[in-house]
Amino acid sequence: MNIAIGSDHAGVELKKELVAHLQRQNIEVMDVGPFDNTSVDYPDFAKLVADKINANTNGILICGSGIGVSIAANKIHGVRAALVTNKEMAEMAKRHNNANVLCLGARMTNPKLAIEMVDTWINAKFEGDRHQRRLDKITNLETSGK
Distance CA 99, CA 3 (A): 13
Provide the pLDDT for residue 146: 65
**Between residues 73 and 142, which one has the greater pLDDT?**
73
If residue 123 lies in a helix (H) or strand (E), which one and from where to where?
Answer: helix 111-123
Q: Do the beta carbons of residue 83 and residue 92 sit within 8 Å?
A: no
User: Would you call 63 a catalytic residue per the annotation?
Assistant: yes
pLDDT-derived band at 2 (thresholds 50, 70, 90) equals: very high
Among 9, 21, 96, 103, the active-site one is 96
Provide the pLDDT for residue 17: 98
Among 21, 63, 77, 103, the active-site one is 63
Q: pLDDT tens, 83-141? A: 999 999 999 999 999 999 999 999 999 999 999 999 999 999 999 899 999 999 988 88
Provide the pLDDT for residue 95: 97
103 exposure class (CB count in 10 Å sphere: 0-12, 13-18, 19+)? buried
Sign of CA dihedral 8, 14, 71, 3: positive
Q: pLDDT tens, 34-63? A: 999 999 999 999 999 999 999 999 999 999
- For the chain, list the domains and their CATH numbers: 2-144 (3.40.1400.10)
Provide the pLDDT for residue 1: 84
User: Would you call 21 a catalytic residue per the annotation?
Assistant: no
